[in-house]
Structure 1
């Protein structure tokens, strides 16, 4: 039969510090890959590699989510002062409470438009955040499903052969000449490839649908109109800033 190239197992099987359910079952995968040529099943190495690469780095999903979380938090702080900050709404209320006149009216109207635009953008970003969360769940679920299939079919093949997992090239083999064992092993490995393909197609279909939804939300974000600047002439006109008695926290007495 000759030797079979082994399925490489990383020295550190979890270099990215993934949760246990996302750690790829390297030894079981090697067992299936190394057995497949005896059953005349081709491309099993490529199938396994595709599973390994199907998610890439799951930590990247978390990193993207954290980025959108930060955007939502920053917008919330800007508008309503979340986290103990003074937001645009409070600042605008204080401005209106202390000043009247054309310049004050122009400033408060401008800040009001900023608040409205920021709230609209925040709502759209929250929707995008939700879709990215769904996206990560779809891909991660498919990856976990494939990992379970690797475990399952490695165990079934082991039981069929009556041997323990053995990923060594020069290991003891069962009676490969047995017609019934050959047929069963080939059937099991064929099922594994088929079910892996089904999972991949299911993920692809969901991702295509998700892409359309994400594009719509991206359009909403891009369509948010950012107010133009305040009329410098009006704002710089000292005469049009007229103080009135403050109704907010004390800050001094207008003269």
Structure 2
């Protein structure tokens, strides 16, 4: 169960979001705040995993709240909620590195998809932190003996962790190339199926999804720079088809590359 703080000065919006979360049976414990100042106070007093904030609120707007919340709790996942007329106003959100953007009026299907993506990201962060600290979950340790017996495929958690870390480094260096599970497995001298298993165990996500997520973050960074054209960026991050890149970007961030670029463009 993850903790979500909803900040919106409209009581109907707050209640509507709570209703949707209950109806969709999302694994979230929800608290609310009626303005940005109140939300920041609650964030400083208790642990929250996700902040969903409207942009226009009294005392402190949603972007000021998001910026201060991120400084207070860097791991906090932030979802920006804005009306269509406020979309340009949301460009500052890019600098805050928000997780998702949603436009009002809220569409239940899009709302569910956006929150599920953020919940999944929270889970992946937890598992990745365990891996980097060398602390495998107890349920994973139970299968260590079986995995250690795999021929020529490393023994114990330490070698598994090293292999996964090397694959992550390869992805970060070669994200603009035609990466595949088989290619990465050969690089670390493992079979594709074994690498897939230990990577998912360590990071909480598949190799392919990790590659896609890293490429999306790089694409977002390139879109923030005016000297790169959108028609070139998809190739720069390893995609061979512009339409597929656009669909992947929208699925990951909730907005299209063109919308994101408009938000990033200075006045």
Where on the TM-score scale, by shorter chain, does this alignment land: which range? under 0.3
Q: Which has the higher contact order (CA 8 A, sep 6+)?
A: 1
Normalising by structure 2, we get a TM-score of 0.25
Higher strand proportion (structure 1 or 2): 2
Normalising by structure 1, we get a TM-score of 0.26
